[in-house]
Structure 1
Amino acid sequence: MEIILKEDIIGLGFKNDIVNVKSGYGRNYLIPTGKGVIASASAKKVLAENLKQQAHKLAAIKAEAEKKAEALKDVAIEIAVKVSANGVAYGAVTANTVAAELQKKGFDIDRKIITMHDAKKVGDYVATIHFHKEVLFELPVKVVAENAAPAVEEPKAEAEAPVEAPAEEASKAEEAPVEE
């Protein structure tokens, strides 16, 4: 059954695409929910006319999607997870996790447009973000062991301790001239 999609459906197609689906999926889900219409000859003509009239709007939407992808160009995500002794994570890093990390960095990206194979081990992965049907962005995701992260922070704490000592000596030096 041929269906004209009325909105983007990840894994199936994008808005205004003509896709072939099983009859039950089209009749029982896509058409009743308003996500698609039957691709009859007249519907195809209407679609072609609408696309012709909206060509400049579609170009603007694509340009905006390219700007969003450009903003993420230098971003890399590092996610710390609890792991077992052999490097297998307790749980998995999913598209939801990636969306949450991007939210922390100030990027508001819907988790539904992110596709990623679940990361169940420590290592490097790639999350694909579908901004537009012609604009895809591959975001590098590094999964690291959570217990390895505090080991890196400990030397910083040791480095801070000597910094405080000179400050105390300076305050003692300031007190000494006052007593004279």
Structure 2
Amino acid sequence: MKLILTHEVDGLGQPGDVVEVRDGYGRNFLVPRGDAIVSTKGAEKQIAQIKRAQEVRHVRDVGHAQEIAASLKSLSVTLEARTGEGGRLFGSVTAADVVNAVKAAGGPILDKRRVELPGHIKATGKHEVVIKVHDGVDAKVNLNVVAAQ
């Protein structure tokens, strides 16, 4: 089965890549999750849009990734969340919350799939979050979760 990837899939490819996979894997896993679309003439036109969107978030090379990692390490990221008694959060902090907090702190626009949380963050305080900027380049960001006023 010939598919066009719409998201990064480990071991398979990047968004916009045309890949050949087994029918069951494509039909039962990749397409329902939205990670790929069936390759047709009309869908091939969408590849250009996917590639343009990818270039906005794309890290050019390892040197550029190290610059981004250095800027992330120097950021002071604070995230306000609703809390109950004893500093417990209503719910937990998600990768999308971290991406929005980094952007609000003046950091770069990140892909939420590259954020690795240290388990479920369900309490206020300081937490260390790892962001995979590039293959082999990770940035540790100190996240301070505070109660919303």
> Quick one: percent identity of the two aligned structures?
25
Q: Which amino acid aligns with 1:94?
A: T
Q: Which runs of 5+ in 1 are unaligned?
A: 1-6, 17-22, 35-59, 148-180
* Bigger relative CO (Cα 8 Å, ≥ 6 apart): 2
Q: Which consecutive segments of 4 or more residues in structure 1 shift more than 2 A?
A: 12-16, 23-34
Asked if structure 2 preserves the Cα contact closer than 8 Å seen for 1:95 and 1:127, the reply is: no
> Which has the greater radius of gyration?
1
Correspondence for 1:74: 74
Higher-strand-fraction structure: 2
CA distance in 2 between partners of 1:104 and 1:14 (Å): 33
Correspondence for 1:114: 115
Q: Which runs of 5+ in 2 are unaligned?
A: 1-6, 15-22, 38-59
Deviations 1:75-120 (A, max 9, x none): 1211122211122111221111111111223321122211213311
Instruction: Tell me the C-alpha RMSD between the 2 structures.
Output: 3.2
Deviations 1:27-70 (A, max 9, x none): 85469938xxxxxxxxxxxxxxxxxxxxxxxxx61121111111
CA distance in 2 between partners of 1:74 and 1:30 (Å): 37
Structure 1 length-normalised TM = 0.50
Correspondence for 1:131: 133
SS in 1 for 2:74: coil
- How many residues were matched structurally? 111
Structure 2 length-normalised TM = 0.59
